[in-house]
């Protein structure tokens, strides 16, 4: 008799179908358990395990219905005298994915792409009926989980589900994401009739008509609200929260499911996931369970119910699950009626297609059990591979696919000991180093580097355990062998701190100084205290003043620039200058006022070094008022040079000594003074001696005056007195006068002459003496530059045809105009300091040829041609100009000459304006209050239109509180024009 259910296996007729029980559902790997009849009890399981098998059912229309799968279990159950009974389990090929587990990294792929890559290795058919777009996952890790669990949790997360389409020789895995467009109706059964048992009067056996005879629908309380949020370090202030509300309409439907972290970095993705999670919750609110004898029933198909007494049930449904109970009785094989020997029963679950269906997230995401180590990787030829956030690439030890390059992982953030807004600690892991990697929330998709460890290839900075006393940091030159280190040496009795660079062996050592070299650590001792040394160049700069002193301050007591002893000695030296100068003036050795000017300068210098006022707050002390360099010692100061020593001061040079001042020179002692040389000794006189050669005293223009209260003595082998016009010798009341006209002698007393002989002969003359002519001092030249300067110091453009005025050291005035490059050369100046004043820039700032001519940045030209402008101001010798960022190089005409040297940005502008002093310094403070370049440009326009007070009004709009009060207080003090002078030196 014909059998209604049969089976096809690689063993052919050796096996016959007897019974099948199993359940098939959306997003589940089914399992069908079969009882088979065999003609032999010796069938080898290896001959069929893993092979495909298909159960074939004959439907009411005569078309076959298939249930296919792979044989995953087979064995002999029992036997009797006539037959052998076997048990078989069929599973889908997807079940094979439960047999393989892996660690694997996927980057920049969507979930459908990842699923295709994972399952593509199995070589079985699959199909994707997906209708929405999917975001790429920057970094997704299969972490110690089976392929099946991995793709299951990804699909569940994205709202993707699957079912199987059974065919004669295969079964196809179908992925879907939309209940309305991813499913086909039942074959030949788009509409299914509802007809219960009591109406059919069923008595058993194969029914004449296939239909649904049991139908039960129920709803359950489900939450209809979902809220999720996430954090993106690249947009730390971004609001990534997403909320979805789809209340089912029953009581208590307002409960909210809150999910963190949301695993989304874009707000649109958050909205998508919020919708998916809400649909997942609501998928279970309305379910239908039923029974049928319709052999076409299969999960993933739709049907429309009809003839149900409740009209709201007569609508389209999606089959979610089908349980099969198929049986071919033994009697059917022994000649009984087929209707009595064949049974097909089906139980099913369904839901209306008006509700979305999403798989329940039942597959947990694996969590790490603690930190791991990994190797830092990057492209070949690089030693450090990082991005703008200091992130790195790593390869985990479990990664057998990565190539140990920049593609081995996503960018991984690196934890540091200190991280702030452009401040903190920076030490990037280098390629080849081993780092400790932890995972945020234990999620393998979110690694973070939390530390570094040494290994046999990456040994510690100093040799251990020999150098265990060293604590610190040691870096390594990129692509080289040199290093830098900060070492804290805790050697017993020899504590030191050392900052060192191998480049030109430059180091600062504090404490018990000893050499610390390479990995060998501490070597020979070199002394105690501190040492700053280098084999290269060195410089010490202190913009507000520098004190170098050997005055003791035990245990760092007192203010850092406390120099009371130094100031006392300087004051004593100044007093010595002042008191001796007064006596010298009385003795007419000094001109009145010369030494007074020096004394005043020394007093001002002492005041500037001492600082003014007392502490005005905690941690505040009197400081240098000017940027002096002060050297001080309670013992002595020595300087030596193998070459020359040059001391220069533009103003005065004063040397004071409480005892002797000794000058010794190997060759000559040369003194040159433009004006005068004055020397005075009060107690023991002045003595000059030339051990060899002559002593020459010459007055090239005026006289030589020798005055002594007692005697003037001259002793020599020969004394010659020569006068061009007259020689007069006067002793008491007697005299002799020698002129070209003759010799006249006279006395009121006795004239006595003694001679061995005496003769009077004719006239004779020795000729006129040839006196030297006074030398002419050379004249100098002063080169002037008045240009606009960028913030980085680059020259932009000269002030064309600008006026200048130079006042030389003798008070002479020289005026002229600059050339097209802002340059002029003034020659014929006396040697000495000169003062330069630049006029305003004569060019129109809005002219296309002007430096300011940037129409997209510069404000509109003022309508009034009579608007007051800022007057001329300081320029400078060299590079005096200023700049205003990319918008303008200075305030209006004159460049730096308008309001001082306006630097790039108003921050620098304020500092430069402050250099002018007085009201100009206050304008600089105001300029520093502007926040943006746009405000700076507006301020420039305001000055051009309304003068300096307009600048205050413009900036005041951006200031509040105390700043506003300060600006208001300054307004009356500002002049209409801001002139100034810039020193130069002609030479």
If asked whether residues 927 and 794 sit together in one domain, one would say yes
Dist. CA 558–CA 570, nearest whole Å: 20
Dist. CA 286–CA 290, nearest whole Å: 14
Report CA-CA distances (Å) from 633 to 17, 394, 510, 552, 559. 112, 58, 21, 9, 17
The encoded tokens of residue 638 equal 């020595």
SS3 (DSSP) at 933: helix
Average the pLDDT over each of 254-258, 287-291, 423-427, 976-980 and give the range with the smallest value.
976-980
Return the bridge partners of 522, or none: 516
Given a contact cutoff of 8 angstroms between Cβ atoms, the answer to whether 507 and 498 are in contact is yes
pLDDT at residue 915, rounded to an integer = 38
Report CA-CA distances (Å) from 606 to 297, 616, 661, 683. 106, 21, 22, 29
Looking at every residue in the chain, the average pLDDT score rounds to: 82
Q: Is residue 196 part of a domain?
A: yes
pLDDT of residue 943 exceeding 60, the answer is no
Given a contact cutoff of 8 angstroms between Cβ atoms, the answer to whether 937 and 902 are in contact is no
Q: Does the CA dihedral 592-594-598-604 come out positive or negative? A: positive
Given a contact cutoff of 8 angstroms between Cβ atoms, the answer to whether 726 and 738 are in contact is yes
Find which of 512-516, 581-585, 880-884, 922-926 is predicted with most confidence, using mean pLDDT: 512-516
Q: Which one has a higher pLDDT value, 152 or 872?
A: 152
The encoded tokens of residue 790 equal 């960028």
pLDDT, average across residues 847-865: 52
Q: DSSP readout, 313-375?
A: GSSEEEEEEEEEEEEE-GGGGGT--HHHHEEEEEEEEEEETTS-------SPPP---S-EEEE
If asked whether residues 305 and 268 sit together in one domain, one would say no
The encoded tokens of residue 91 equal 């599973």
Dist. CA 275–CA 266, nearest whole Å: 15
Q: Is residue 124 part of a domain?
A: yes
Strands 982-986 and 795-798, how do they pair?
Answer: unpaired
Q: Is residue 682 part of a domain?
A: no
Pick from 28, 303, 357: nearest CA to 178: 357
Q: Which one has a higher pLDDT value, 736 or 876?
A: 736
What are 464-523's pLDDT values in tens digits?
A: 999 999 999 999 999 999 999 999 999 999 999 999 999 999 999 999 999 998 889 899
SS3 (DSSP) at 785: strand
pLDDT at residue 560, rounded to an integer = 86
pLDDT at residue 747, rounded to an integer = 92
The encoded tokens of residue 377 equal 């990787």
Q: Is residue 12 part of a domain?
A: yes
Q: Is residue 891 part of a domain?
A: yes
pLDDT at residue 330, rounded to an integer = 61
Q: Which one has a higher pLDDT value, 538 or 769?
A: 538
CATH assignment at residue 94: 2.30.110.50
- What global pTM score does this model have? 0.69
If asked whether residues 41 and 65 sit together in one domain, one would say yes
pLDDT at residue 337, rounded to an integer = 44
Longest dimension (CA), the chain: 193
Q: Which one has a higher pLDDT value, 829 or 910?
A: 829
pLDDT at residue 609, rounded to an integer = 87
Pick from 928, 931, 841, 834: nearest CA to 881: 841
Pick from 369, 437, 434, 377: nearest CA to 407: 377
Q: Which one has a higher pLDDT value, 950 or 838?
A: 838
Given a contact cutoff of 8 angstroms between Cβ atoms, the answer to whether 496 and 490 are in contact is no
From 301, 326, 353, the end of a domain falls on: 353
Q: Give 797-800 contacts, CB < 8 A, sequence gap 24+.
A: 797/822, 797/851, 797/889, 798/822, 798/823, 799/838, 799/841, 799/843, 799/881, 799/894, 799/895, 799/897, 800/841, 800/842, 800/843
If asked whether residues 121 and 266 sit together in one domain, one would say no
The encoded tokens of residue 961 equal 């509180």
End-to-end CA distance of the chain: 130
Pick from 95, 102, 98, 126: nearest CA to 112: 126
Q: Which one has a higher pLDDT value, 623 or 846?
A: 623
What are 587-606's pLDDT values in tens digits?
A: 777 877 777 788 888 888 88
Q: Is residue 363 part of a domain?
A: no
pLDDT, average across residues 351-373: 95
Dist. CA 270–CA 285, nearest whole Å: 23
If asked whether residues 796 and 905 sit together in one domain, one would say yes
Q: What percent of the chain has pLDDT over 90?
A: 48
pLDDT of residue 816 exceeding 90, the answer is yes
If asked whether residues 505 and 593 sit together in one domain, one would say no
pLDDT, average across residues 289-314: 95
Return the bridge partners of 22, or none: 32, 324
In the structure, what pLDDT confidence band is assigned to residue 798 with cuts at 50, 70 and 90? confident
Dist. CA 275–CA 811, nearest whole Å: 87
What are 720-775's pLDDT values in tens digits?
A: 888 888 999 998 879 999 998 889 999 988 888 899 888 888 787 776 677 666 67
Dist. CA 429–CA 437, nearest whole Å: 12
Dist. CA 486–CA 474, nearest whole Å: 6
Q: How many CB atoms lie within 10 A of CB 657?
A: 9
What count of Cα atoms within 13 Å lies in the side-chain half-sphere of residue 448?
Answer: 11
If asked whether residues 265 and 347 sit together in one domain, one would say no
Strands 734-739 and 787-789, how do they pair?
Answer: unpaired
From 515, 534, 553, the end of a domain falls on: 534
Rounded to the nearest 5°, which phi and psi values hold at 84?
A: -105, 140
Report CA-CA distances (Å) from 750 to 55, 535, 742, 753. 170, 83, 22, 10
Q: Is residue 415 part of a domain?
A: no
If asked whether residues 828 and 955 sit together in one domain, one would say yes
SS3 (DSSP) at 739: strand
Residue appearing with tokens 């379910």: 287
If asked whether residues 863 and 896 sit together in one domain, one would say yes
Residue appearing with tokens 């480049």: 503
Dist. CA 749–CA 110, nearest whole Å: 134
- Into how many domains does the chain fold? 5
pLDDT of residue 928 exceeding 60, the answer is no
Host domain of residue 570? 563-605
Q: What percent of the chain has pLDDT over 70?
A: 81
Given a contact cutoff of 8 angstroms between Cβ atoms, the answer to whether 357 and 161 are in contact is yes
If asked whether residues 183 and 316 sit together in one domain, one would say yes
Dist. CA 225–CA 918, nearest whole Å: 67
pLDDT at residue 137, rounded to an integer = 96
Q: How many CB atoms lie within 10 A of CB 213?
A: 20
If asked whether residues 260 and 297 sit together in one domain, one would say no
What count of Cα atoms within 13 Å lies in the side-chain half-sphere of residue 957?
Answer: 10
pLDDT at residue 6, rounded to an integer = 93
Q: Is residue 336 part of a domain?
A: yes
If asked whether residues 171 and 260 sit together in one domain, one would say no
What are 648-694's pLDDT values in tens digits?
A: 888 888 888 888 888 888 888 888 888 888 888 888 888 888 888 88
From 552, 579, 605, the end of a domain falls on: 605
Dist. CA 886–CA 788, nearest whole Å: 12
CATH assignment at residue 251: 4.10.220.110
Dist. CA 343–CA 291, nearest whole Å: 14
**HEC string of 110-145?**
CHHHHHHHHHHHHCCCEEEECCCCCCCECCEEEEEE
């Amino acid at each position: 008799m014909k059998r209604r259910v049969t089976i096809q296996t690689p063993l052919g007729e050796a096996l016959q179908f007897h019974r099948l029980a199993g359940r098939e559902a959306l997003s589940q790997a089914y399992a069908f358990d079969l009882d088979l009849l065999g003609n032999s009890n010796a069938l080898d399981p290896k001959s069929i395990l893993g092979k495909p098998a298909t159960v074939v059912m004959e439907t009411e229309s005569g078309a076959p219905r298939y249930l296919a799968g792979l044989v995953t279990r087979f064995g002999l159950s029992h036997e009797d005298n006539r037959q052998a009974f076997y048990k078989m389990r069929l599973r889908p090929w997807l079940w094979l994915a439960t047999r393989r587990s892996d660690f694997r990294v996927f980057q920049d792929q969507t979930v459908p792409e990842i699923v295709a890559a994972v399952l593509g290795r199995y070589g079985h058919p699959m199909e994707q009926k997906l209708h929405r777009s999917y975001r790429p996952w920057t970094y997704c890790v299969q972490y110690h989980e089976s392929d099946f669990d991995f793709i299951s949790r990804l699909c569940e997360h994205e709202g993707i589900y699957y079912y199987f389409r059974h065919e004669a020789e295969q079964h196809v895995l179908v992925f879907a994401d939309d209940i309305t467009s991813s499913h086909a109706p039942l074959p030949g059964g788009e509409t299914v009739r509802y007809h219960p048992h009591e109406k059919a009067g069923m008595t058993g056996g194969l029914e004449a008509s296939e239909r649904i005879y049991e139908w039960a629908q129920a709803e359950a309380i489900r939450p209809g609200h979902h809220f999720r949020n996430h954090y993106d370090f690249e947009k730390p202030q971004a609001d990534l929260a997403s909320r979805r509300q789809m209340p089912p309409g029953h009581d208590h439907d307002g409960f909210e499911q809150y999910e963190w972290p949301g695993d989304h970095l874009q707000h649109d993705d958050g909205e998508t996931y919020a919708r998916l999670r809400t649909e997942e919750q609501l998928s279970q609110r309305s379910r239908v369970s039923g029974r049928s004898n319709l052999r076409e029933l299969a999960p993933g198909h739709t049907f429309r119910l009809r003839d149900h007494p409740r009209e709201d049930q007569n609508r389209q449904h999606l089959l979610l699950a089908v349980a099969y109970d198929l049986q071919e009785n033994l009697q059917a094989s022994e000649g009984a009626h087929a209707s009595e020997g064949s049974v097909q029963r089906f139980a099913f679950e369904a839901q209306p297609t008006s509700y979305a269906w999403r798989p329940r997230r039942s597959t947990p995401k694996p969590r790490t059990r603690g930190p791991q180590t990994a190797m830092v990787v990057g492209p070949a030829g690089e030693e450090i591979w990082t991005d703008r956030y200091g992130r790195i690439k790593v390869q985990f030890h479990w990664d057998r696919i990565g190539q140990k390059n920049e593609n081995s992982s996503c960018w991984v953030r690196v934890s540091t000991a200190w991280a702030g807004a452009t401040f903190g600690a920076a030490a990037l892991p280098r390629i080849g180093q081993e780092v400790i990697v932890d995972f945020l929330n234990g999620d393998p998709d979110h690694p973070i580097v939390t530390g570094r460890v040494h290994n046999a290839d990456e040994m510690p900075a100093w040799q251990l355990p020999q150098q265990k006393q060293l604590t610190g940091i040691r870096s390594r030159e990129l692509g080289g062998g040199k290093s830098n280190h900060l070492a804290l040496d805790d050697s017993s009795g020899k504590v030191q701190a050392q900052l060192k660079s191998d480049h030109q062996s430059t180091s600062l050592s504090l404490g018990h100084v000893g050499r610390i070299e390479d990995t060998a650590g501490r070597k020979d001792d070199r002394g105690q205290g501190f040492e700053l040394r280098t084999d290269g160049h060195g410089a010490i700069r202190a913009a507000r003043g520098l004190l170098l002193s050997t005055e003791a301050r035990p245990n760092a007591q007192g203010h850092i620039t406390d120099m009371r002893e130094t100031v006392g000695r300087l004051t004593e030296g100044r007093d010595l200058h002042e008191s001796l100068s007064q006596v010298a003036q009385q003795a007419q050795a000094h001109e009145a006022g010369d030494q007074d000017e020096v004394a005043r300068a020394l007093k001002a210098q002492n005041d500037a070094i001492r600082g003014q006022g007392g502490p005005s707050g905690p941690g505040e002390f009197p400081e240098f008022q000017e940027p002096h360099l002060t050297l001080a010692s309670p013992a002595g100061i020595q300087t030596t040079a193998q070459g020359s020593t040059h001391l220069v001061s533009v103003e005065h040079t004063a040397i004071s000594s409480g005892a002797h001042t000794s000058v010794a020179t190997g060759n000559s002692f040369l003194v040159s003074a433009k004006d005068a040389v004055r020397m005075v000794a009060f107690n023991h006189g002045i003595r000059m001696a030339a051990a060899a050669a002559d002593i020459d005293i010459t007055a090239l223009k005026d006289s030589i005056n020798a005055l002594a209260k007692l005697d003037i003595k001259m002793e020599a082998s020969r004394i010659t007195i020569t006068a061009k016009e007259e020689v007069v010798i006067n002793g008491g009341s007697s005299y002799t006068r020698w002129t070209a006209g003759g010799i006249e002698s006279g006395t009121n007393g006795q004239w006595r002459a003694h001679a061995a002989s005496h003769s009077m002969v004719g006239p004779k003359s020795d000729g006129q003496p040839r006196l030297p002519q006074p030398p002419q001092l050379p004249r100098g030249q002063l080169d002037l530059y008045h240009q606009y300067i960028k913030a980085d110091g680059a020259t932009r453009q000269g002030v064309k045809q600008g006026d200048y005025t130079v006042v030389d050291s003798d008070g002479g005035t020289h005026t002229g105009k600059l050339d097209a490059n802002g340059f002029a050369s003034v020659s014929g100046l006396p040697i000495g300091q000169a003062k330069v004043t630049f006029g305003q820039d004569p060019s129109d700032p809005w002219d296309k040829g002007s430096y300011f001519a940037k129409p997209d940045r510069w404000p509109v030209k003022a309508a009034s041609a009579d608007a007051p402008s800022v007057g001329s101001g300081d320029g400078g010798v060299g590079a005096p100009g200023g700049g205003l960022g990319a918008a303008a190089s200075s305030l209006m005409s004159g460049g730096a000459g308008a309001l001082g040297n306006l630097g790039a940005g108003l921050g620098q502008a304020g500092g430069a304006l402050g250099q002018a002093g007085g009201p100009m310094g206050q304008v600089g403070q105001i300029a520093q209050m502007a926040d943006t370049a746009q405000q700076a440009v507006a301020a420039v326009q305001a000055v051009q239109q309304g003068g300096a007070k307009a600048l205050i009004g413009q900036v005041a709009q951006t200031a509040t509180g105390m700043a506003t009060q300060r600006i208001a207080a300054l307004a009356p003090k500002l002049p209409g024009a801001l002139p100034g002078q810039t020193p130069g030196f002609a030479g």
